[in-house]
Structure 1
Amino acid sequence: MGGSQSTFQGFNLQEDAFDAEEFKEALDAWLAPMHLQSSRPFLIGWYNQQREITADGTQRIEGPDDGVAYAVYSVPGYLDVVIEHFARERPSTGFVDGATDAILAQLRQALPAELEPQVVNTDEGPPYYHVQTIGNVCAEDEHIEAKDIPNDGDDWEEDLSDRLEETRDPKMWGSESEMLRKIFGVNVHPTWGGWYAYRALIVLRKGTQASLQKPEPMAFLATEDKKRILAEYNLRHQLCVWRDLSDSHPAEKRYSPEEYFFFTETSPDKRRRFLEMKASLMTAVPAPRWPSL
């Protein structure tokens, strides 16, 4: 696995000279045409340590503690990549994962083999990884939990739980009060808000950098915005209002109306029909966007 591609050439790939930040620049340059971005680099050990604390060590990343890894996430515009993949391949199902897998297959060939890269679609697995933990440990986004918001006497948490218990359907959520009242946490990006989606994990087992400094957890949201986002996320998740950082969230930093409807649509048949209609408007089958090997 692995090959030579101009984006990743010019690196000194000796273990004691690997530069995670420099490699991220090359990685982002390769990903950009597909409306994909990479997270800040993080060490395998950071993630595994956090999983020990929060989840009894489940969903660990196998590799040396000082091995470097990156998450890959899609941003607004990724639907165009999915449509183009459909026009080329005409899959009957797995439209988004199929487009992602095609990109990741090319990326595996482009990454230097000396780094022993592992590239995994985090929406499929196995193996399975916890992307919220990844986003948190590399400070790519801010994780919001109700319990972490200071109580300023307005009883907002209790009020929100009351509303959830009143509106959640026991047929879906069960009859236990604890689950009906539970406020689920969410990650939010400082640029994209909630208008992004983790797609892949890249692990470089021979790309080690023990000197990489662990960033402080990201904290950019005001308390009132945290409350609003958690309320929208739990009460009206499907409307995606929670994805906006504020009432003035830039339109270019959110999904297009078509992306909103496509990515919230749960019917594979409707998704396929949409893709068929979009592909029928093309005058020619588009070439893949990834750089040539």
Structure 2
Amino acid sequence: MHLQSSRPFLIGWYNQQREITADGTQRIEGPDDGVAYAVYSVPGYLDVVIEHFARERPSTGFVDGATDAILAQLRQALPAELEPQVVNTDEGPPYYHVQTIGNVCAEDEHIEAKDIANDGDDWEEDLSDRLEETRDPKMWGSESEMLRKIFGVNVHPTWGGWYAYRALIVLRKGTQASLQKPEPMAFLATEDKKRILAEYNLRHQLCVWRDLSDSHPPEKRYSPEEYFFFTETSPDKRRRFLEMKASLMTAVPAPRWPSL
């Protein structure tokens, strides 16, 4: 289904990190030793979205609708005695910080400008200068701090940035206090971190930042159709694209997951 699960992590790991970085906002409700998982889509998920559209013909929420259909089956499959909670992280409420989730379960590497070793160049200052020059005050405000802010981002060791968190699975009664917290991922070279942060902040929509390096494998990124669909912000254009794709099908496809 072009969905993957993260390593298991404990609710307490996430909540502790949110206390450190964000005053405890967007907490996961549950015991500290409760087990949770993140679910994320990888290249090819557009096919799942197209097939869902062909079956259901929704007028809005094309991606979330496809995700919700899968999550509904997952909720039914999970044992009630585990007190499971399955949330579409794109919709909410409740809302969770998926970058923190990815970091604490060591599914991907989080990059922040302040964490990159200073090797004598002025790349951070230069990048902030470029951001201040190019950001529109109508969108970003007039405060210099915001105009110059370099936002961090997570990248995956296989997919780079060509993936998206879709769901959180919390098992409140599925406790595992002995689970060992993994070390944070650290697989990127310094120059790649700088390049990714620059591309992410200056030209986010071009998605060059999603490539781990200049030689990122094409099969590990979105197809051209996925690139245009997932960066398109017009619901009408998205719907028209899905209508055109569905019209090419000779039959309405069955769901890729078994009915319960």
Superposed CA offset, 1:232-258 (max 9, x none): 000110000000000110111000000
Cα shift at 1:136:
0.5
Q: Which residue of 2 aligns with 1:196?
A: 163
Query: TM-score if structure 2 supplies the norm length?
Result: 0.99
Q: How many angstroms apart in 2 are the aligned matches of 1:112 and 1:254?
A: 35
Superposed CA offset, 1:47-104 (max 9, x none): 1111111111111111111110000000000000000000000000110001111110
* SS of residue in 2 equivalent to 1:248: coil
Query: Which runs of no fewer than 5 residues in structure 2 stay unpaired?
Result: none
Cα shift at 1:291:
2.5
Q: Which residue of 1 aligns with 2:61?
A: 94
Q: How many angstroms apart in 1 are the aligned matches of 2:259 and 2:68?
A: 17
Q: How many angstroms apart in 2 are the aligned matches of 1:116 and 1:110?
A: 12
Cα shift at 1:176:
1.2
Q: Root-mean-square deviation (CA), in Å?
A: 0.7
Query: TM-score if structure 1 supplies the norm length?
Result: 0.88
Superposed CA offset, 1:168-204 (max 9, x none): 1111111111111110000000000000000000001
Cα shift at 1:292:
3.3
Superposed CA offset, 1:191-222 (max 9, x none): 00000000000001111111100001110000
Q: How many angstroms apart in 2 are the aligned matches of 1:260 and 1:253?
A: 13
Matched positions, count: 260
* SS of residue in 2 equivalent to 1:119: strand
Q: How many angstroms apart in 1 are the aligned matches of 2:77 and 2:145?
A: 48
Q: How many angstroms apart in 2 are the aligned matches of 1:239 and 1:99?
A: 25
Q: How many angstroms apart in 2 are the aligned matches of 1:179 and 1:185?
A: 14
Superposed CA offset, 1:109-168 (max 9, x none): 111222111000001111111101100100000000000001111100000001111111
Q: How many angstroms apart in 1 are the aligned matches of 2:57 and 2:178?
A: 46
Superposed CA offset, 1:249-282 (max 9, x none): 0111000000000000000000000000000000
Aligned mate of 1:205, from 143, 161, 172: 172
Query: Which runs of no fewer than 5 residues in structure 1 stay unpaired?
Result: 1-33
* SS of residue in 1 equivalent to 2:67: helix
- The percentage of aligned residue pairs carrying the same residue is 99
Q: Which residue of 2 aligns with 1:41?
A: 8
